[in-house]
Amino acid sequence: MGWATVTHPFHPLFGKRFRILKTRRVGGREVLSLFDEGHGTIALPREWTDDAPPAPYVTALPTPPILDALCLVKLRALADLIRKGVDDVK
């Protein structure tokens, strides 16, 4: 099945490369079963490895945005609700 390197920056195995034993779906997420001689089988979400498809903004923009458009729309709606609530108090 190939190899995967752990890319999650806070994972203790960050930067290490493992053989992929299998892929399965758990709770709607793709999980890789990786083989490590020292630990046996390790299960990691696919997005924590270099085997994950690139994020939608990685190739389109030089620097990925902090928030995507949908998050910004939700943030604006929340700010409007807060503002309306403050105006009602006056």
- pLDDT, one tens digit per residue, over 28-67 is 889 999 998 888 999 999 999 998 877 665 656 666 667 7
SS3 state of residue 21: strand
Residue 30 contacts residue 43 (beta carbons within 8 Å):
no
**Residue ranges per domain, the chain?**
1-53, 54-90
Q: What percent of the chain has pLDDT over 70?
A: 81
pLDDT at residue number 87: 66
Instruction: Note the pTM of the prediction, 2 decimals.
Output: 0.59
Residue 22 contacts residue 33 (beta carbons within 8 Å):
yes
For domain 1-53, the question of CATH label 2.30.30 is answered with yes
